[in-house]
Amino acid sequence: MKQSRFKSLLSYITEMHIETISSDYNEALHVLLKNGQYQLCTANAIYSYGDKYGNFSGTFDQIDLDRTVIQNVLLLGFGLGSIPYMLEKKFGKLYSYTGIEIDEAIIYLASKYVLDELKADIQLIQANADNFIMQASSRYDMICIDIFVDDRIPDVFLDIDFLYDAQDNLAPNGFIIFNHLAYNKSDKKAADDYYTNVFEKVFPNGASLKIKGNCMMISDKSILRK
């Protein structure tokens, strides 16, 4: 849903509140219009922000997308669809997406505000990402893990078994991007400990990028620009 040109221009001066709803998983989901793009946030976290969702945008800047073969993408945690939005609008890439989102309210907001602006083929599924990844039969060239409840990653998604299940769903030469907070000192330590003690055990050829207060973990560093 595009806002009026007046609201869009005004949002560069001051952020505009568009809608707030609650759900079984989030006490309050706020949709804002900021710098001409929709932002989805909770009290303590930003779930989506168009192509200004800097953690993933900065990560894709460092991936050689022209050299990397990507057709099918799995998104675990969908938000307002920042990843397909930025890949299409900023990077000029049109992929096929399967989005897994447990919160029906977020699916509603994504459908209402963003999906009609995209040309990409997007299948949205309401499901627990852990259950989906264990049962999925398809294989994906890229899996993006961006799963938070407010500013916390549920413990099940930090378990090494979840990473092995995600690895099983990769196509040949496929890769994973895992978003972990690294905003303050304790977040950074938790992210570094997780990367060393869990992620690197599953993906020894991986890489860890600190971007916009996040630690972006890549399963295969060979996809990064030289």
Q: For position 151, what pLDDT does the model report?
A: 82
Cα–Cα distance measured from residue 153 to residue 226, given in angstroms and rounded to the nearest whole number: 31
Cα–Cα distance measured from residue 58 to residue 100, given in angstroms and rounded to the nearest whole number: 22
- Segment among 84-88, 182-186, 196-200 with least mean pLDDT: 182-186
Cα–Cα distance measured from residue 30 to residue 97, given in angstroms and rounded to the nearest whole number: 24
8 A C-beta contact, residue 97 and residue 120: yes
Q: Which CATH number does 53-223 carry? A: 3.40.50.150
Cα–Cα distance measured from residue 165 to residue 120, given in angstroms and rounded to the nearest whole number: 26
pLDDT value at 150 more than 90:
no
Q: For position 175, what pLDDT does the model report?
A: 98
Residue-averaged pLDDT of the chain: 93
Considering the chain, what percentage of its residues have pLDDT values greater than 90? 80
pLDDT value at 45 more than 90:
no
